[in-house]
């Protein structure tokens, strides 16, 4: 099985350096990943997507879980109340009355310090070895802590508007970062999705990352991804932003990775690929499964003969265009000429995508005889009885089509004839 492992950093690709991705634009990251892997899905038997978008998604899910825990909510609610920032309030749909007042902030800060000191003192007392005395001590401890529990419950009541707004925004982000289209490809066995960082997201790790620096979480994820990239047993492709990141740190992209990236770049140039809706790619791929392996062999062979090293993104696009015109386009023209010269093959090539071979043969026979005025479509039984003299011609057409299928550029013609591409062209007004 030919698998391509794709490493993606959609945030770096969608947002300019030093820029900021607005909340309402989060879905652009999923759309980027969809378009990035589209040609790879058409080229490979399976794709393993390693996207930083999934690290961000898991981070949002962790934060959503934390809205049910006191310590994170206390820290976040105190923070937003202290800042009292109009833009932040507008983002969450809150009013100033929903925040703690300066007096309340001072009160709860003092209570938090008192409780912390009390807890430390209680923990310093040795536990009695006698079970009964241990129970008595724990009961006294709970009695001393109880007043603070009352305070914290009141604080949570005050924080309720913020908690609801926070959960709402986190759920929006989660929905935006997810892709139903990519999930469907996973269900069909064509795609595996993983984040860069293999470690699970947790609050303790988040705190440690925050103490280590503003980019600690990203740096750890990048190091994990880089190690996996170097050791991947699959054919590898990286997007432009990942290529830039690893290049800046002296990590060279492998020759095999450059060849695969070149082949995928050539696949992007195939007529119909750019307009093919992503949610129809899996069906189209199933329809054209017989043509994929020959075409894959063809364009990988073409890509392997190109020197992709030491060129920038602009030069890469130029080299792709030159390679297409010099090596791929002539093969497509030759294939198209062969198809046109094969008599029945032009019809057979299109009908052969519809069903099993027996049905295809009968369908071709019916269509051919009807066109010649020999029989009507309603007389299928009579048609079947008359198959032998004409079936030989039909089968010759099928064999001619099989020969055409061996032409490694035939995938291009077959893709252009799929219903999905035809519909996409009509929507664009291309006929």
Each residue's pLDDT tens digit, 130-140: 888 889 988 99
CA dist 88 and 41 (Å) reads 41
Tell whether the model's pLDDT for residue 355 goes beyond 60.
Answer: no
More confident residue, 28 or 399: 28
What pairs with residue 7 in β-bridges?
50, 238
Quote the strand ranges of 157-231, DSSP E. 191-194
**Per-residue pLDDT tens digits for 280-291:** 999 999 999 888
Tell whether the model's pLDDT for residue 372 goes beyond 90.
Answer: no
What is residue 373's predicted lDDT score, i.e. its pLDDT? 36
Q: How far is CA 234 from CA 34, 138, 261, in A?
A: 20, 58, 13
How many C-beta atoms lie closer than 10 Å to residue 5's C-beta? 24
- Contact in structure between 302 and 324 (CB atoms under 8 Å): no
CA dist 407 and 333 (Å) reads 11
Tell whether the model's pLDDT for residue 123 goes beyond 70.
Answer: yes
In a domain, 138, yes or no: no
| DSSP assigned state of 328 | I
What is residue 80's predicted lDDT score, i.e. its pLDDT? 97
In a domain, 292, yes or no: yes
**What pLDDT band is residue 47 in, cutting at 50, 70 and 90?**
very high
**Per-residue pLDDT tens digits for 77-88:** 999 999 999 999
Tell whether the model's pLDDT for residue 398 goes beyond 60.
Answer: no
CA dist 299 and 233 (Å) reads 21
Q: Please check whether residues 184 and 286 belong to one and the same domain.
A: yes
What is residue 338's predicted lDDT score, i.e. its pLDDT? 67
Q: Please check whether residues 347 and 317 belong to one and the same domain.
A: no
Tell whether the model's pLDDT for residue 41 goes beyond 80.
Answer: yes
**What pLDDT band is residue 30 in, cutting at 50, 70 and 90?**
very high
**What pLDDT band is residue 351 in, cutting at 50, 70 and 90?**
very low
What is residue 180's predicted lDDT score, i.e. its pLDDT? 96
In a domain, 416, yes or no: yes
Q: Please check whether residues 393 and 419 belong to one and the same domain.
A: yes
What is residue 360's predicted lDDT score, i.e. its pLDDT? 38
How many C-beta atoms lie closer than 10 Å to residue 321's C-beta? 13
Q: Please check whether residues 217 and 317 belong to one and the same domain.
A: yes
Q: Please check whether residues 362 and 304 belong to one and the same domain.
A: no
The range of the structural domain enclosing residue 211 comes to 3-63+180-324
Place of tokens 């109340």: 81
**Per-residue pLDDT tens digits for 253-270:** 788 888 999 999 999 999
Q: What mean pLDDT do residues 347-371 have?
A: 40
More confident residue, 370 or 210: 210
Q: Please check whether residues 383 and 261 belong to one and the same domain.
A: no
How many C-beta atoms lie closer than 10 Å to residue 55's C-beta? 24
Q: Please check whether residues 308 and 202 belong to one and the same domain.
A: yes
Residue 314 CA, distance from chain mean position: 25
CA dist 16 and 244 (Å) reads 13
In a domain, 348, yes or no: yes
Q: Please check whether residues 320 and 407 belong to one and the same domain.
A: no
Tell whether the model's pLDDT for residue 119 goes beyond 70.
Answer: yes
SS3 content of the chain, % helix, strand, coil (to 5): 70, 5, 25
**What pLDDT band is residue 383 in, cutting at 50, 70 and 90?**
very low
What is residue 346's predicted lDDT score, i.e. its pLDDT? 44
Q: Please check whether residues 279 and 413 belong to one and the same domain.
A: no
Q: Which one of 324, 356, 381 terminates a domain?
A: 324
What is residue 413's predicted lDDT score, i.e. its pLDDT? 80
Tell whether the model's pLDDT for residue 210 goes beyond 70.
Answer: yes
Q: Which of 187-196, 199-208, 370-379, 418-427 has the highest mean pLDDT?
A: 187-196
Residue 424, C-beta contacts closer than 8 angstroms, at least 6 positions apart: 272, 275, 276, 277
In a domain, 171, yes or no: no
What is residue 56's predicted lDDT score, i.e. its pLDDT? 95
- Please count the structural domains in the chain: 2
In a domain, 77, yes or no: no
Q: Cα angle vertex 247, ends 243, 252, to 5°?
A: 90
What is residue 370's predicted lDDT score, i.e. its pLDDT? 36
In a domain, 299, yes or no: yes
In a domain, 395, yes or no: yes
* Helix, coil or strand: residue 19: coil
Q: Which one of 324, 351, 382 terminates a domain?
A: 324
What is residue 252's predicted lDDT score, i.e. its pLDDT? 76
Q: What mean pLDDT do residues 265-280 have?
A: 91
Q: Please check whether residues 234 and 346 belong to one and the same domain.
A: no
Q: Please check whether residues 233 and 311 belong to one and the same domain.
A: yes
Q: What's the mean pLDDT when you consider all of the chain?
A: 83
What is residue 430's predicted lDDT score, i.e. its pLDDT? 65
Answer yes or no: pTM beyond 0.85: no
Residue 190 φ/ψ, nearest 5 degrees: -100, -15
Q: Tell me which of 138-152, 184-198, 315-329, 396-410 is least confident.
A: 396-410
What is residue 359's predicted lDDT score, i.e. its pLDDT? 37
Tell whether the model's pLDDT for residue 327 goes beyond 90.
Answer: no
Q: Which one of 289, 324, 359 terminates a domain?
A: 324
What is residue 188's predicted lDDT score, i.e. its pLDDT? 95
**What pLDDT band is residue 339 in, cutting at 50, 70 and 90?**
low
Q: Please check whether residues 285 and 418 belong to one and the same domain.
A: no
Q: Which of 100-114, 119-133, 295-309 has the highest mean pLDDT?
A: 100-114
| DSSP assigned state of 377 | T
What is residue 9's predicted lDDT score, i.e. its pLDDT? 95
């Amino acid at each position: 099985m030919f698998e391509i492992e794709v490493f993606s950093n959609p945030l770096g690709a969608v947002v300019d350096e030093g820029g900021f991705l607005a909340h309402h634009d989060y879905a652009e990251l999923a759309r980027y990943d969809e378009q990035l892997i589209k040609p790879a899905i058409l080229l490979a038997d399976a794709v393993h997507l390693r996207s930083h978008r999934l690290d961000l998604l898991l981070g949002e899910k962790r934060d959503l879980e934390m809205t049910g825990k006191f310590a994170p909510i206390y820290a976040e609610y105190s923070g937003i109340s202290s800042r009292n920032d109009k833009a932040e309030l507008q983002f969450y749909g809150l009013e100033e009355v929903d925040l703690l007042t300066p007096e309340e902030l001072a009160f709860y800060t003092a209570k938090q310090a008192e409780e912390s000191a009390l807890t430390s003192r209680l923990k310093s007392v040795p536990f009695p070895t006698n079970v009964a005395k241990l129970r008595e001590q724990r009961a006294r401890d709970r009695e001393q802590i109880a007043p603070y529990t009352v305070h914290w419950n009141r604080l949570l009541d005050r924080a309720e508007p913020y908690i609801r707004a926070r959960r709402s925004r986190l759920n929006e982000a989660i929905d935006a970062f997810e892709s139903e289209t990519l999930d469907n490809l996973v269900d069909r066995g064509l795609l595996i999705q993983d984040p860069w960082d293999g470690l699970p997201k947790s609050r303790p790790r988040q705190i440690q990352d925050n103490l280590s620096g503003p980019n600690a979480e990203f740096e750890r994820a990048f190091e994990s991804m880089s190690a996996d990239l170097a050791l991947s047993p699959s054919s590898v492709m990286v997007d432009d932003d990942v290529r830039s990141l690893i290049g800046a740190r002296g990590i060279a992209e492998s020759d095999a990775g450059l060849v695969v990236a070149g082949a995928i770049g050539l696949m992007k140039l195939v007529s119909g690929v750019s307009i093919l809706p992503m949610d129809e790619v899996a069906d189209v791929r199933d329809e054209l499964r017989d043509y994929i392996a020959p075409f894959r062999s063809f364009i990988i062979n073409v890509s392997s003969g190109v020197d992709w090293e030491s060129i920038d993104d602009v030069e890469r696009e130029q080299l792709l265009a030159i390679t297409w015109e010099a090596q791929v386009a002539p093969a497509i023209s030759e294939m198209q000429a062969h198809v046109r010269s094969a008599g029945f093959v032009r019809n057979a090539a299109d009908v052969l995508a519809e069903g099993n071979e027996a049905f295809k043969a009968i369908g071709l026979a019916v269509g051919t005889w009807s066109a010649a005025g020999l029989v009507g479509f309603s007389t299928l039984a009579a048609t079947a009885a008359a198959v032998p003299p004409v079936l030989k011609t039909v089968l010759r057409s099928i064999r001619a089509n099989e020969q055409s299928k061996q032409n490694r550029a035939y995938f291009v013609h077959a893709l252009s004839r799929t219903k999905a591409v035809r519909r996409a062209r009509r929507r664009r007004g291309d006929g």
